[in-house]
Chain A
């Protein structure tokens, strides 16, 4: 065999092993690829397609109506209320969860006893089903026999029909939402606090920053920045996806005072069977969530590259 021939054989061999490797590669990513296609890409595509039709659930015919669903969404007061309520709810839940979660974490960490107990009781609401807990809240908030009104009346504070009042329902839902997310934020903050090296506090002591506020500003808060960002992302996404408390406690009422995006989507699709319209809401929801996630990912990345 001449050297030229052997070179050709070599190349042939290399191509063969190369294509075998490629095949093995595809075989290995295959299952994941199929799952992603079936579980994510196809449903998203289907939602996008259905959003452009007037399909009603169960109907045998449907027609393509282009962006008509979206233009009627803009004019729909119920949808606008849902959008506004979701934003207002998130703006109440997210900051209060962050501030309360951090404060509680600092208190628990600074205490010496019962840390595990405090951590556990605050984490419980996050573990339990909100649908079940919502019933407890309903009892607490009951206008006549509820504990809240009875206590308020006893100490001379104004009482209200909390879940049926247009101005009280959203703040009350925000309180319940905060109560539920608090445990998660707390546990993440506690983990973040544990990871702060003691040396930094010692250095702050020696440098003269030994007051509570100085330590907080110089060591604790900057060290917690990455954890806080993560908590912010998770809690915001959870707030946007609020559904179960509305379904159990208010069904969007009174009027549309507590309708939020996911509840509006559910109502249009599965109560009014306007599947095409519901799909359009789903698209709006998807766009908002993706936009939020992208924005936060950018912030995280820009922080990460400039430590």
Chain B
């Protein structure tokens, strides 16, 4: 078990900067997710932690000591790859035993015939076999030990990859999009299993994904990466309700947050989409700002009134318990999406005029450069480390 510290790490490939001065503290036993769109540098950061890639500057610490000079195998980290990276010519049990064999047997002992003649080889091999069997049983793959990866389904391969990582009890688990090659149903199941594994073995997990659902459901904290920088590091709840930045707000949440151009009119009034909203912020007039409203922060209103937006209903999407109303409002090319109770379905018809009340305590305001306005303490949320 160990904490991981990333201090001022930068990396570029040629003249293209990939990671730009990232600092991040990951607590002992924490499940931290690096979330970001593809190409934001999250996998590169993971590979730098693993030692597969060398950073241009900055340091990595595992359990308080620098590991920059250590090769991957000496860093006490295990990694699960998106492609699983199982050795195709080895059986499941050989795949899982490999990290142990490489550590506990000498080069001579690993040779096919000579190795068997050397003292100790047999007892160590038997020990490894027992440990592999135990790990396989814990993952429910003990009936597959004699098979080769080519004979396994995607989910089974995924479990073998996890088994190969956990069999040697590493201090840190690194996972690079481990679920993205699975179908939707299996992904949900494996999500639960990985979370359960983390709870059971309690070691530090660093998990890379571009899937916000995975990040939201599994993590203790999420580190949102955008263009090689950390945009925000916070709990899933905080990231959702209190994003530090407009891009973070856009990244998290499905359907996406509604963003509307707004003009402050002074005294906490805001001109938005042909209506005026009274938000209790100390807004000064002048600059254009952006109002962000999540779909569930909009309520159906019978008539226009305080803090309501009026638009024309384009269409309604049913998603079971709720429905999503897509409403065209003046001044916005994209329709506003509102999450409404399904009981309203009968009273909503396409092309009719609808009024939506904004829950003002949930409205988010962003400045022209994308930074979050108001609630200044949010700036501290990103910097807060393990102790918080």
C-alpha spacing A202/B98, complex, angstroms: 14
Q: Tell me, yes or no, whether A225 is within 8 Å of chain B by CB.
A: yes
Contact residues of B between 170 and 199, Cβ < 8 Å to A = none
Query: How many residue pairs bridge A and B at CB < 8 Å?
Result: 65
Q: Tell me, yes or no, whether B226 is within 8 Å of chain A by CB.
A: no
C-alpha spacing A211/B102, complex, angstroms: 11
Asked whether, in the complex, the Cβ of A307 is within 8 Å of the Cβ of B150, the reply is yes
Asked whether, in the complex, the Cβ of A207 is within 8 Å of the Cβ of B102, the reply is yes
Asked whether, in the complex, the Cβ of A199 is within 8 Å of the Cβ of B83, the reply is yes
> Which interface residue of B52, B77, B103 has the most chain A CB atoms within 10 A?
B52
Asked whether, in the complex, the Cβ of A209 is within 8 Å of the Cβ of B98, the reply is yes
In the complex with contacts A207-B73, A214-B102, A202-B85 CB distance below 8 A: yes
C-alpha spacing A207/B96, complex, angstroms: 10
C-alpha spacing A214/B47, complex, angstroms: 21
**CB-nearest residue of chain A relative to B161?**
A203
**CB-nearest residue of chain A relative to B51?**
A205
Q: Tell me, yes or no, whether A206 is within 8 Å of chain B by CB.
A: yes
Q: Tell me, yes or no, whether A88 is within 8 Å of chain B by CB.
A: no
Contact residues of B between 23 and 81, Cβ < 8 Å to A = 47, 50-52, 71-73, 77-79, 81
Q: Tell me, yes or no, whether B99 is within 8 Å of chain A by CB.
A: yes
Q: Tell me, yes or no, whether B88 is within 8 Å of chain A by CB.
A: yes
Asked whether, in the complex, the Cβ of B73 is within 8 Å of the Cβ of A208, the reply is yes
**CB-nearest residue of chain B relative to A214?**
B102
Asked whether, in the complex, the Cβ of B164 is within 8 Å of the Cβ of A207, the reply is yes
**A207-249 contact mask (Cβ, 8 Å, vs B): 1 or 0:** 1111101100011001101000000000000000000000000
Asked whether, in the complex, the Cβ of B98 is within 8 Å of the Cβ of A207, the reply is yes
C-alpha spacing A200/B85, complex, angstroms: 5
> Which interface residue of B71, B78, B89, B99 has the most chain A CB atoms within 10 A?
B89
Neighbouring B residues of A222 by C-beta, 8 Å: 87-89
Q: Tell me, yes or no, whether B148 is within 8 Å of chain A by CB.
A: yes
Asked whether, in the complex, the Cβ of A208 is within 8 Å of the Cβ of B99, the reply is yes
Asked whether, in the complex, the Cβ of B103 is within 8 Å of the Cβ of A208, the reply is yes
In the complex with contacts A199-B81, A202-B81, A307-B150, A209-B102 CB distance below 8 A: yes
How far apart are A214's CB and chain B's nearest CB, in angstroms? 7
Q: Tell me, yes or no, whether A197 is within 8 Å of chain B by CB.
A: yes
C-alpha spacing A214/B50, complex, angstroms: 19
> Which interface residue of B73, B148, B164 has the most chain A CB atoms within 10 A?
B73
**B363-386 contact mask (Cβ, 8 Å, vs A): 1 or 0:** 000000000000000000000000
Asked whether, in the complex, the Cβ of B72 is within 8 Å of the Cβ of A210, the reply is yes
Of the residues B51, B71, B85, contact of A203 by C-beta under 8 Å: B85
Neighbouring B residues of A225 by C-beta, 8 Å: 89
How far apart are B98's CB and chain A's nearest CB, in angstroms? 5
C-alpha spacing A214/B106, complex, angstroms: 12
Q: Given A202-B81, A206-B79, list of 13 further CB < 8 A pairs?
A: A197-B83, A199-B82, A199-B85, A202-B50, A202-B79, A203-B79, A206-B50, A206-B52, A209-B98, A213-B107, A218-B87, A222-B89, A307-B150
- List 10 A–B pairs whose Cβ atoms lie within 8 Å, in order of A's numbering: A197-B83, A199-B85, A200-B85, A203-B79, A205-B71, A207-B98, A207-B99, A210-B71, A307-B89, A307-B148
Please give me the 4 A-B residue pairs with the lowest Cβ-Cβ distance, nearest first.
A208-B102, A307-B150, A203-B85, A199-B85
